[in-house]
Structure 1
Amino acid sequence: MTAEVIVLGAGIIGVSTAIHLVRRGKSVILVDRRNPGEETSYGNAGLIQREGVAPYGFPQNFGVLLRYALNTRVDAFYHARAMPKVAPFLLRYWWHSNADRHRLITKAYAPLIEHSISEHADLIEAANAGNLIRKDGWTEVFRSPAALEAELAAARAKQAEYGLAFDTLDKAELSRREPHLSEDFAGGLTWRDPWAVLDPLALTQAYVRLFETLGGRFVHGDATTLSPVANGWTVKTQDGPVQGEEVVVALGPWSDTVTAPLGYRYLVGVKRGYHMHYAPSDGARLNGWLMDAERGYLLAPMNQGIRLTTGAEFALRDAPKTPVQLARAEAIARKIFPLGERLDSEPWMGARPCTPDMMPVIGKAPRHRGLWFALGHAHHGLTLGPITGRVLAETMTGEQPVIDISAYRPERFRA
């Protein structure tokens, strides 16, 4: 098989990139070891986070760091044995999260986020996937008035600079919107701009069907067999070798299995996360996406049930599951909402690929002809899939990208 472009990785980033390339007349083969959307793109919170202009930074306050070091929290957990290998990434992550540097990073990151809804809307319409989308935002709830006021102040600043919309919820309004929620909360705020996805896997699958309708082809294959040849690149698949003039690496947390053998040793870490689905009990209903902000977990009313998602676990990517955070979060969540039985046989686990400066790597590889990267989207892979696919496809075909992507260039890191 031959194609002009091989896209490695059939998560939301790779699928979106493949769509935008075939739209521009490229012949494209999409390759993954599993079915599309079954890895990291499956297990997210299902939010297209238009409000997420500021990437998640590493805590700077010493007291906060000390509390995390105790390893008893819900929102973060770490494997002590992994720290020697993980520490270099964490140190650079901490350095980039300094207030001044984080402010500059936010300025560079925001243009991607600003196109998240509009670019998803384009693909959702083309894929006839509107039944998977809710457009009523998501809510953060707070137990203490002080924490609520601090978040409202930050929200007002976002609103002023980026035009984001939110509703302030006092205790009575929160109770009206979520009548089955406990009385533990002082109030909250609802971000109005984001969209929610009722089934992230189904959305990725809908995008794949669109890709195939446009003339693209998906095959199962082993990305680690990628190698350069005289006229481009080749990779082994179940249907035989595939050869392409160009290749896009969109393998999320597994990107290093391809980039490292080619000499690109980017300092990319992973934040592992877990989820579990639950049935509501006693006829309870969760009306919208809800984050218990001071505890660090999220409840989402998805098609499979109420999905509970955890914060970040710092561990080696391929280490066995340790769903400690899930157990901690479930114990708390059952006190604030009537969760019923678990609906999954075991907790799902995925890994978010993260760069030290919290921005993705999008662009041409510095030292190889026809090699392109789209990786490192951290918490916002679902959010940024379509806009990433568009700007990379525009760059690859010689168009002027809709936004300046120089801040995301691969060569910003030594590799």
Structure 2
Amino acid sequence: MRPTRARHAVLWLTVLAYLITYMDRVVIATAAPVIEQEYGFTPVTMGWIFAAFSISYALFQIPGGWLGDRFGPRRALTGVVLWWSTFTAATALTWSAGSMMVCRFLFGMGEAGAFPIATRSLSRWMLPSERGWAQGVTHAGARLGGALTPVFVALLIVQFGWRMPFLVFALVGVAWAALWFWYYRDTPREHKSVNASELAIIEGALGAGKARVSVPWRRLLSNPRLWTLSAMYFCYAYSINIFLTWFPKYLHDARGFDIALMGLFASMPLMAGVIGDLLGGWASDLLVKRGVGLKMGRRIVAVVGFLLAAAMIPLAAAIVDPVPSILCFCVALFGLELTVGVSWAVTLDIGGEYAGSVSAVMNTLGNSGAAIAAAVTGYIVSMSGWFAAFSVLSVLCLIAAVLFLRIDASRKLVEGEMQT
């Protein structure tokens, strides 16, 4: 009997979820210049509005991952998407800096569960040899959402004002939540579309698994390898968050682009990042399949990506001509995004049944970096300029490359057995 491909349908539904998370997240970055003008916000105030999301996003990573592990991804992911879609729409109703900060904080609470729960949803479906590609393509979906959103948001703002994009994208999230709850099941054995052949392939590689597990938090949190992984992701998340929050404003203020050109050029590096997401996960899995092993298969791709980003970011910021500068930023984002699918594949490799919680810890520390980036960049730019702000990213990418040299994806955090 030819195996069905229900696991691939699950993967593409997850890709769509990642795309929606970044669509909803990036709307405010593109709308920021118009919001600042309407309310008279300073860059520092706008930075704290950005940071309100990042702070709650970091704080609620572990609770979000626990929800997925404890109650199963079907119910948990449906719930968090409905929650954040509600506050995406509510952003359009805010009337001051304080109300916007509160709304973005509540929005971040919901989005915090997205990646850990989605990672848990894939842990029972994707084969070990498919994980790098799966994480690469899901994060490519996220970057694609981030890349396309500025263009559409700019058009909606020109036609209808800055509030309309928040309402439109909220409806997209609600529609996805309904589709997910209808199609997804917590284990392949529960899914009617999985035939015996595909079930044998999945369970032969992963075992039967459990829809819900009890998380051994003490054993996970006492393992230094989890903190090395998380520190690496801190460096990554600080860096990528500059491009998701501050980059459109940089193009508007430092490069002098109007709202339409700003949306276009803000999208270009993120589109290059989409290619990096796809290539990074694919290359890592290819190395694993060719016998390099999980340890080196994950490590080689990530270290190369971080070093490329470290070299290109300051060069891009220093170039005066805007077009070559944007091209260098594209190369930098390509390198940075080579690493992200690999990083999340490692959470599956070493987390196993507890991948949701492991990824939540990694993403908590990572998004602490994102929150710091959102808040302090306004101060750095005000005191030292944009080149200084981008130089911080280069240093962090170098640190991340060094940390990844200490990450071994072949050793599980809890069981301790070696993987091939």
Q: Aligning the two structures, in what range does the TM-score lie when normalised by the shorter sequence?
A: under 0.3
- Larger helix proportion, structure 1 or 2? 2
TM-score (norm 2): 0.25
Give TM-score scaled by structure 1 length: 0.26
